[in-house]
Amino acid sequence: MIARKTLGRLRRIAKRWRNEARSGSALVEFAMIAPVFFLLLFAIMEIGIIFFAQSTLQHATEIVGRLIRTGQVQGQSLTQSQVRQIVCNNAAPIIPCDSNLYVDVEAFTNFNTIIFSPPLGPDGTMNPMNTFQPGTACNVVLVRSFYAWNVFTPVLTPFLRNMANNKHLIYSASAFRNEPYTTGLSGC
């Protein structure tokens, strides 16, 4: 009877050791696959956040474009910093309102005369964007917003950076003709 109990205990112990040996192999397999899995997971998250930030910046640029197109910016004599703050308010909290955000507004007489400077210099750094010309009624206006996004995932930096200092340039633009918002104009 005692031998039978002892034999039963030994079988249970042996079974437990076999199960633990199998779980050990699962741990080794997970250790081999985990870096690739987490890299893929972080890549999907970072690219998704960049696309969401791009969409948010485009939305904020379109809001400012609407204010300029209808003459509200000109009528209230808003300054460049006030227009930039409108972009900041509409892009927050995805895009922080810091020195990496640039807003450029240029007015032209028609669509054929649009000439604008590139946002990046030859060394990959941001060109200073100091233009603020919202134009008058019936002018063609180009509103551009730029943000230098810091790439967080170190392994993805060579694939996502498109400017100096391991940053990704997020860019949005809106081109339109101002409405005839002044009195006496019937159309453009």
- Which sequence spans correspond to the domains of the chain? 14-177
pTM of the model: 0.80
User: 19-66, pLDDT tens digit by residue?
Assistant: 655 656 777 888 899 999 998 899 899 999 999 999 999 999 999 999
pLDDT at residue 168, rounded to an integer: 93
Separation between Cα atoms, residue 162 and residue 174, nearest integer Å: 22
Question: Binning pLDDT at 50, 70 and 90, where does residue 73 land?
Answer: very high
What are the φ and ψ backbone dihedral angles of 93, each rounded to 5 degrees? -95, 5
The average pLDDT across 87-113 equals: 92
Q: Please determine, for residue 105, whether its predicted confidence score (pLDDT) is greater than 80.
A: yes
pLDDT at residue 50, rounded to an integer: 94
Q: Which residue has the higher pLDDT, 130 or 166?
A: 166
pLDDT at residue 11, rounded to an integer: 77
The average pLDDT across 1-20 equals: 69
Separation between Cα atoms, residue 139 and residue 175, nearest integer Å: 11
pLDDT at residue 71, rounded to an integer: 92
